[in-house]
Amino acid sequence: MSQHRTKKGADTKDKAAFFVARTPHPKQAETQAQDGAESDLHADLVDAQEAVADTLLTPNLLQKMLDAAVTKMQVSFTSALAKINNEITDLDARTSQIEEKIEESTTAQAAIEDRLVDIEKRLSLHETKITDAEDRSRRNNIRLRGVPEDVEAFNGLHHGAVPCGLAGHTR
């Protein structure tokens, strides 16, 4: 369109120059000048219409703009989707690590619980053995009444003195 406008503008200027150069009669020159001014005005209007037409949105231009916007959105969505996929992959890896640690912890806890049960059984067995040992040690203890605790009194027993609790017993 710009070639058309340039050509038309050049034609208008040429006509105006032709009219100005050819002024045979003053009245005719005045009429020709008015015609030239009208012609210039008409050319300016045509140029303005073409400029407006160039800036108007045509279906073709709208389609191009829509295609560009769609392409831009596709690139943006593709980029965002790639980021989301990377984050999902990272989360999957972290989840797997956490699951492994939980499994290890569960296994360790089960081993500790088994060991605790074993220790409780052994403790119960040792408590039973201690109770039995205490009972047996009490059964083997003999209480002697009337036997003096000091050595001199005990020596007197060897010389024929009988303690009062043992009187009537023979050797």
Annotated domain spans of the chain: 1-56, 58-136
Q: Is 165 helix (H, G, I), strand (E, B) or coil?
A: coil
**pLDDT-based confidence at 28, cuts 50/70/90?**
low
Question: Tokens 């203890």, residue?
Answer: 141
C-alpha of 65 from chain center? 37
Distance, CA of 148 to CA of 156 (rounded, Å): 10
Distances (CA, A) of 132 to 118, 120, 125, 135: 21, 18, 10, 5
Distances (CA, A) of 150 to 40, 127, 144, 158, 165: 154, 37, 14, 13, 16
Instruction: Look at residue 154 in the predicted model and tell me its pLDDT.
Output: 59
Distance, CA of 32 to CA of 19 (rounded, Å): 6
Distances (CA, A) of 3 to 7, 10, 47, 49: 6, 10, 11, 15
* Average pLDDT of span 41-68: 77
Report which of residues 12 and 104 the model is more confident about.
104
**pLDDT-based confidence at 27, cuts 50/70/90?**
low
**pLDDT-based confidence at 4, cuts 50/70/90?**
very low
**Residue 40: which residues within 8 A CB-CB, separation 6 or more?**
12, 16
Write the pLDDT tens digit of every residue in 107-157: 999 999 999 999 999 999 999 999 998 888 877 677 777 777 776 765 665
Residue ranges in the chain assigned as alpha helix (H) = 2-21, 26-55, 59-139, 151-158
Instruction: Look at residue 157 in the predicted model and tell me its pLDDT.
Output: 57
Buried-state track 23-32, b at ≥16 Cβ within 10 A, e below 16: eeeeeeeeeb
* Average pLDDT of span 9-20: 50
**Residue 42: which residues within 8 A CB-CB, separation 6 or more?**
12
Q: Is the predicted pLDDT of residue 89 greater than 60, yes or no?
A: yes
